[in-house]
């Protein structure tokens, strides 16, 4: 397929490369020209606007930081819908408000464009390895059309229902992931204070009911003080704000999620907004008196 990719950051660039490796023709756009040039060197074709991308492809993927970015790129001046022809498949793989996803899907339908909300989990490693978990909302027939794209990008693509349901599933994912990460960080601080061997306690706990990806992947990063971002604190905070807001509209209490959100706020106050989410341990270390 001819696939456009708009947004070439930590996630979007490796996703575009996986599409190229799978044999798709990729048309790329980013506000940062150097990112486009790097992808062109790998075989992509550049475009000078989201509308130009839409005019050149069968399907277009957006992978952007936040709801306003997606609204502008898809529905704004010189955006995807402005350049789209009837029958275009649009796939937003960002994490945005479910309400915004539904509104954009309705606008797209007015010009005969099928818009899927298809946020992902797996972070930078999953994007590089093509092992992302993809949660999809939108028209079921559009989901079937998107299968060749999803196969190139992820290990599993799960259809969750109508517009917005992919985004709602991602918010559930973020609630579970962030609260699990906080538990791992608490365990890491306790283990250090108790003098436990770092590798040994992770190995021991991983063999039982407390095993998780967060434990296996993030505890060692915390221990070696590796706070490079696979997923940035500021983006995690955006996702948690969306989850807490969605829960409020549904009348659901998320007390643990709210606490984790505040702990990340403490990390941001220490200048850690661009660090990886494993930097959550810094807030808990501060509470334990570590400097």
Got the DSSP string for 67-91? HHHHHHHHHSTT-HHHHPPTT-EEE
Among candidate residues 57, 62, 59, the one with its CA nearest the CA of residue 76: 62
> Quick check: is 238 catalytic?
no
| Same domain assignment for residues 190 and 282 | yes
| Same domain assignment for residues 143 and 193 | no
Question: Using N-to-C axis directions, what is the helix angle for 165-194 and 255-269, rounded to 10°?
Answer: 70
Q: Is 216 exposed, middle or buried (0-12, 13-18, 19+ CB in 10 A)?
A: middle
| Same domain assignment for residues 147 and 181 | no
| Same domain assignment for residues 18 and 153 | yes
| Same domain assignment for residues 155 and 176 | no
| Same domain assignment for residues 154 and 176 | no
pTM to 2 decimals?
Answer: 0.94
pLDDT at 288: 95
pLDDT at 10: 94
Q: Give the domain-ending residue among 117, 140, 162.
A: 162
If you count them, how many residues does the chain have? 291
| Same domain assignment for residues 130 and 202 | no
Q: Give the domain-ending residue among 162, 183, 207.
A: 162
* Total domains in the fold of the chain: 2
pLDDT at 291: 62
- Joined tokens for residue 273: 């907004």
Tell me which residue range forms the domain holding 97: 2-162
CATH number of 190's domain: 1.10.1040.10
Q: Which residue has the tokens 């063999």?
A: 207
pLDDT at 170: 98
- Joined tokens for residue 17: 């490369």
| Same domain assignment for residues 118 and 176 | no
| Same domain assignment for residues 63 and 200 | no
pLDDT at 290: 79
Q: What is the pLDDT along the chain (291 residues), one digit of tens a residue?
A: 999 999 999 999 999 999 999 999 999 999 999 999 999 999 999 999 999 999 999 999 999 999 999 999 999 999 999 999 999 999 999 999 999 999 999 999 999 999 999 999 999 999 999 999 999 999 999 999 999 999 999 999 999 999 999 999 999 999 999 999 999 999 999 999 999 999 999 999 999 999 999 999 999 999 999 999 989 999 999 999 999 999 999 999 999 999 999 999 999 999 999 999 999 999 999 999 976
Q: Give the domain-ending residue among 103, 130, 162.
A: 162
pLDDT at 250: 97
Q: How far apart are CA 15 and CA 179, in angstroms?
A: 27
| Same domain assignment for residues 23 and 41 | yes
| Same domain assignment for residues 142 and 280 | no
Distance of CA 156 to the CA centre of its chain: 15
Neighbours of 266 (CB within 10 A): 15
Give the active site residue among 170, 221, 234, 261.
Answer: 170
| Same domain assignment for residues 181 and 158 | no
- Joined tokens for residue 85: 């022809």
CATH number of 146's domain: 3.40.50.720
């Amino acid at each position: 397929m001819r696939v456009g990719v708009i947004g070439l950051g930590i996630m979007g660039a490796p996703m575009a490369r996986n599409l190229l490796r799978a044999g798709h023709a990729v048309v790329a756009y980013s506000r940062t020209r150097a990112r486009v040039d790097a992808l062109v060197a790998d075989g992509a074709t550049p475009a000078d606007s989201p509308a130009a991308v839409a005019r050149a492809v069968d399907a277009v993927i957006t992978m952007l930081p936040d709801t306003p970015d997606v609204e502008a790129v898809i529905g704004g001046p010189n955006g995807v819908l402005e350049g789209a022809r009837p029958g275009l498949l649009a796939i937003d793989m960002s994490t945005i408000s479910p309400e915004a996803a539904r509104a954009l899907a309705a606008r797209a339908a007015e010009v005969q464009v099928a818009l899927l909300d298809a946020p992902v989990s797996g972070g930078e490693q999953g994007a590089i390895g093509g092992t992302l978990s993809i949660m999809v909302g939108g028209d079921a027939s559009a989901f079937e059309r998107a299968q060749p794209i999803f196969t190139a990008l992820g290990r599993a693509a799960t259809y969750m229902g109508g517009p917005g349901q992919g985004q709602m599933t991602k918010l559930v994912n973020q609630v579970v992931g962030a609260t699990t990460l906080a538990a791992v960080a608490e365990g890491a601080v306790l283990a250090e204070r108790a003098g436990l061997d770092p590798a040994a306690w992770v190995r021991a706990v991983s063999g039982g009911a407390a095993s998780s990806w967060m434990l296996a992947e993030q505890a060692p990063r915390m221990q070696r003080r590796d706070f490079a971002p696979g997923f940035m604190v500021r983006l995690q905070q955006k996702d948690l704000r969306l989850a807490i807001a969605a829960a409020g509209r549904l009348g659901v209490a998320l007390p643990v999620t709210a606490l984790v959100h505040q702990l990340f706020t403490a990390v941001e106050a220490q200048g850690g907004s661009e660090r990886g989410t494993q930097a959550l341990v810094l807030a808990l270390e501060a509470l334990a008196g570590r400097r």
